[in-house]
Each structure stands twice: as structure tokens, then as C-alpha cells.
Amino acid sequence: MDLEQMSKEIKIDTAKSADIAKECNKLLDLQKDVLRIEDQLQKVKEEERKLSEEIIPSLMQSAGIDKLRLTDGSEVEVKPYYAARIPTARVDEAFKWLRDNGHGDLIKNNVTLTFNRNEDNIAKSLVDELRNKGHNVKQAEKVEPMTLKAFVKDEIEKGHNVPSDLFGVYIANKTKLKTKE
């Protein structure tokens, strides 16, 4: 069968393709809306961060106030905020520092072993053997984010030196608002 003959046999429902095009245009409009709203949300979040971490703490510090109770019973307080995250490129260096400084217990050590195809019996046998010895098999070293954050906060508050670059340390004052319910 040649192409000319095939093209005569192909039937296209133009009403259906118009419906598809209409719905695709709706989807494109919605995707544009999502991008616009996400951009707007980022701007609002940045404005909120500036008020919480910069403007209000600065105003309260210049007034010599760390906590303020309003007439409606609400409270405004500025407290230190800590964040930490080990940069991917510096994991080995950060883990070495933790171990060298007596904090190696923060590092979780998980072991994983990969087998090739058709090695299911070997894998099952090894896993059974290790489990019989009380081991849970897999390996990946990591420090839980909340553990790292708590460690950094504790060390800094004790006056100990923690390498900011190794642990992505971020410290700011943060405004806490408590409304009277």
C-alpha cells in the first residue's frame, strides 16, 4: 500500500483535535500561572525573612528589648536561629573534623552491598549470615540534619569553634510572634 492510499484511509476527527488543542492551551495558561505564583511566593517569603531576621530584630535591639508583650496579650520575641548543612563537596572533610574532635558518634554508618545479575543466592546467603550475627546490612554515612543543627547550636552556645564552611552554618535572629488565643 502506498502513502497516497494510506492517507485516504486515515480519518481525523477535527472536533476532537480542536478539543485537545483547547485543553492544551488551558494547561499552558495554568503552567504560566503556576510559575507566576511561585515567583510571587518567593518574593513574599524573602520579605517575610527580612522582617523576621533583620528589620524587627534590629528595631528591638536598638530599643534594648528582647521580648515585648502587646496590649492584646500577644508576644513578640527575638531568639537566635541556627541552621547547618554539610556541603556535598566537603562531606569527607566534615566527617574527618567530627571524628578528630570527638564527635564521630554523630555520623550514622550504613552498609549496602550490590550484587550482579544471577547472584541472588550469594546475596541471600551473605545477608542471612550477617543478620544471624545481628547486623542490619547496608552502608551510607550521614549526619541527620536535625542532629547537625542541634550539635552546631550547642557547640556555638558553649563557645566552641565549629568550622562554618564545613557545616554550612547559618545563624540569625528570628522573630517569634505568639498571638493570644
Give DSSP secondary structure letters for 81-130. Answer: EEE----GGGHHHHHHHHHHTT-GGG-EEEE-----TT-HHHHHHHHHHH
In the chain, domain spans: 10-107+142-178, 108-141
| Alpha-carbon distances, residue 41 vs 37, 95, 98, 133, 177 (angstroms) | 6, 36, 38, 53, 21
Instruction: Determine the Cα–Cα distance for residues 102 and 64; give it in Å rounded to an integer.
Output: 39
Q: From first to last of its 181 residues, what are the pLDDT tens digits of the chain?
A: 566 666 566 666 777 788 889 899 999 999 999 999 999 999 999 999 999 999 999 999 999 998 999 888 899 999 999 999 999 999 999 999 999 999 999 998 877 777 777 777 887 888 788 878 887 766 556 788 899 999 999 999 999 999 999 999 999 889 998 987 7
- Pair 142, 108: CB distance under 8 Å: yes
